[in-house]
Amino acid sequence: MSTEFSDENIEFWIACEEFRTITQPKKLAVKAIKIYEDYIAVQAKRET
């Protein structure tokens, strides 16, 4: 179980690092929504 949480944390960190490299506003918005939907929103796929 702890490995599962570690994997999710690493995947979230990678997504955030990718977000930091985006310079185009439209792509930034798309990535922000994806991160929110995947990791933060209630019932998110990878919500812990």
Indicate whether 8 belongs to any domain: yes
- 29/47: higher pLDDT: 29
Question: Is the pLDDT higher at 39 or at 1?
Answer: 39
Burial of 27 (0-12, 13-18, 19+ CB in 10 A): exposed
Segment 3-45, tens digit of pLDDT: 666 888 999 999 999 999 999 999 999 999 999 999 989 887 7
Q: What is the pLDDT of residue 4?
A: 64
Assigned domain for 17 exists? yes
Q: Which domain holds residue 14?
A: 2-40
Q: 45 lies in a domain?
A: no
Closest CA to 16 of 48, 45, 38: 38
Q: For residue 8, what pLDDT is reported?
A: 85
In a domain, 46, yes or no: no
Domain count, the chain: 1
Residue at 30 is within a domain: yes
